[in-house]
Structure formats: C-alpha cells, structure tokens
Structure 1
Amino acid sequence: MSRTIPAALLTALGQRTVRLFYAVELIFDSAPLRLWTGYGTKTIDGQTFTGAGSLLQIGGLEEVADLSARAADLTLSGVPSGLVATALAEPYQGRPCRILFGVTNVSAFVEVFGGQMDTMTIVDSGELCEIRLTVESRLVTLERPRIRRYTHESQQSRHPGDSFFSFVTDLQDKEVVWGRKKA
C-alpha cells in the first residue's frame, strides 16, 4: 500500500541517531486504549498515548503489493489479573484499530496498519497475564461473502417502504414476447 510520508519524518529518519516508536489505538465502546512502545505519555495526533515500553509487542506487519488481507498481532505482557476481567467483559470484535509509526522527537507519524480487532487470547500465569490480540486488515471485508437477495423481503430489511422488488415474484412465470408476434 503506498502512502505519503511527511517530510519531517523523512528528515528525522535520515539522522545519525533515530529513536523509532510504534503506537496502537484500540477503540473500545467504554473508552479508547492508546499505547505506545516508549515510556511515559506521548501526544500523537492530538491524543494521549500511554507508554507500555517493551511490554507491548507488535508482530505481523508487512507490506504487500497485492490487495491481500493481512493480520497483525498485538501482545501486551505484564497485565495485572484485575484487568483481565475488564478485557473479557468488553466487546472488542470488529472494533477499529490503528497502528502508527514515528520518530520520538518528531510530531509527524505514518499509519502503517488500519483494521479491526478479531480474536483475543489471554494467558494467565497467576499474578500477571498476557493478552494477545489479532487485528485484521480492512481488506478482509472484501473476502467476506455478501448475502443479498433480489427479493421484496430482502429489500425491506435494508430499506423499509421501498417497493422496487415488490413485483419480482409475479414476473418469474411470465412469458415475455420480444421481437415476434404473440401466438
């Protein structure tokens, strides 16, 4: 996927010493969760991200030339057991997720992944837990079958009151005379 990289970010990447970071934004119903791979808080795109340091791991990011749907894996280690109940209770599937890339001393960033949360696995070892979340690319929606029918009932479920398909059942056994005299 081609993307525009801001000039400030390109300049920073050309420096002798570069400190890179990734940031993850997970949009839950109760409140968004924003984490970054550094320490302390960081403001990105007007939002405050909490530092997770090495406890946040991101895997599966890859650029492909075709339109294939890819997934990314997010792992948050060292989670207190009390927060696991919150993770289990919060609906997460299909919620938006963004992964950003940047340089610590530059405000510019690039979105390297955008998609939806898919599956969550929790590994509990007693006091601390590890939460693994798979996020699917936005392109995965292209692979899902669209189950739509050209019937009045199907049209009513999407657009109540629309009578466009109301005569389809009457037409199925009709003989249409086209280009010849009726016998």
Structure 2
Amino acid sequence: MNRQVDANTVAAVTAGHVPFLFLVQLDFSLPLRVCSAPYDVEWNGYTWSGIGMLGNIEPIQEQGSLEATGVSLTLSGVPSELVAASLAEHYQGRGCQIWFAPLRADLQLAVQPIRLFFGRMDTMSTEVGETAVITIAAESRMVDWQRARARRYNNEDQQSRYPSDRGFEYVPQMVEKQLMWGR
C-alpha cells in the first residue's frame, strides 16, 4: 500500500540519527495514552504518559490483499492502578492505535506522528510481580470483514437501525397473503 508522506517527514526519518518514539492509545472506559519516552509528551490535545520502556511492539505487517493482520504489544512497568483497571474492565473490541513519531535533536516531535496500526483489542494477559507487565493482542478491523452479518428483513430489525422508516411495517401481513391475479 502506498502512503503519502510529506517532505518534512521524509527529511526527519532519513537523517543520520533519528530519535523516535511510539505513541499507543488503548480505549478503555478512560483511554490509556502512553508513549515510549521516559517523559510525558503533549500531542493532539492529550498528554501521553511516558512509561519509559513501552516494552515491545511486534512488527506491524500490512497486506496487499484483503487479509486481517494483528499486532501484539507489551507494556512494562505499568502502575498498579492501571493494572487494576485493566483486570476489572471489559476490553475486547475496544480501540487500539499505534503511532510512530520521529523526534528533533531536542527530543520534541519533529512532524505529525504517523499512524501505524488501527484495530481492536482482542486478548490481554497480565503478569504482576515487582513490576507489572501487560501483553495485549490487537486485531485489525479487517477481521470484521469475515464475520457474518445477522440482519433480518422485518420491521423490528429496520426500526432498530432506522427508527422513522416504515418500509417493512406491513411485511408480516404479506407473508401468508393470497393474491388473485388476472380476474
């Protein structure tokens, strides 16, 4: 897949030494925004908590065909209040986004971060010891492409999606109706 990259981004990533960081957003009931820097970063109107070592982000792969891919990421050194929230909350199907951001020499954002992954959280494992480690597997939104859609051609299903539409209102009456043609 070709992506349009502006000249500033090309210059930032082709320099001799390119400091960078990853930004990760996990959409729990209160979104968790962390970055791989050892300090907090302001971007896009939010403060991204610097947890130092983000842990590990599995290589993100793109497919040229309509194929679902996923990613696994590990958060290490997670504060205990975030561990408690992650264990108590329903997270499956919630959003997961990962951005790559090249930095200037003063370790500030050089250009707008590039979104590498946009999908949904699937599974999570938590290891609590001296420090907490959370491993999250996320799946691409293309996984939904393979799921069957359960839609019905009846008034109730139509009303759930379009409350003011009356197109299927008389369908139940027409099911067993006998019509006389040609007389």
TM-score, with normalisation over the residues of structure 1? 0.83
2:85 & 2:78 partners in 1: Cα distance?
Answer: 11
Map Cα deviations across residues 91-123 of structure 1 (whole Å, 9 max, x no partner).
322222211012121132211111222221112
Q: Which amino acid aligns with 1:59?
A: E
Aligned residue-pair number? 178
1:182 equivalent to 2:164? Answer no
Paired residue type of 1:29: S
Where does structure 2 lack aligned partners over 5 or more consecutive residues?
A: 105-109
2:144 corresponding residue in structure 1:
141
AA at the equivalent of 2:22: Y
The aligned residue for residue 158 of structure 2 is 155
| 1:139, distance to aligned residue in structure 2 (A) | 2.0
Please list every run of at least 4 consecutive aligned residues from structure 1 whose deviation after the TM superposition is greater than 6 angstroms: none
For the structure 1 residues 46 and 6, does the alpha-carbon distance in structure 2 shift closer, same or farther, using more than 3 Å as the test?
A: farther
1:73 shift after superposition: 1.0
Deviation track 1:107-159 (CA, whole Å, cap 9, x = no partner) reads: 322111112222211123x3322111112222222222110000122223333
Q: 5+ residue gaps in structure 1? A: none
What are the residue-to-residue correspondences of 1:41-56 with 2, within 5 Å? 41-56=40-55
Cα distance in 2, alignment partners of residues 35 and 44 from structure 1: 11
- Normalised by the length of structure 2, the TM-score is 0.83
Task: Give the corresponding residue for 2:107.
Answer: none
Equivalence map 1:113-152=2 (5 Å): 113-124=117-128, 126-152=129-155
CA distances 1:2-53 after superposition (whole Å, capped 9, x unpaired)? 33223211101121111232211122223x2211222212223333222223
CA RMSD after TM alignment:
2.4
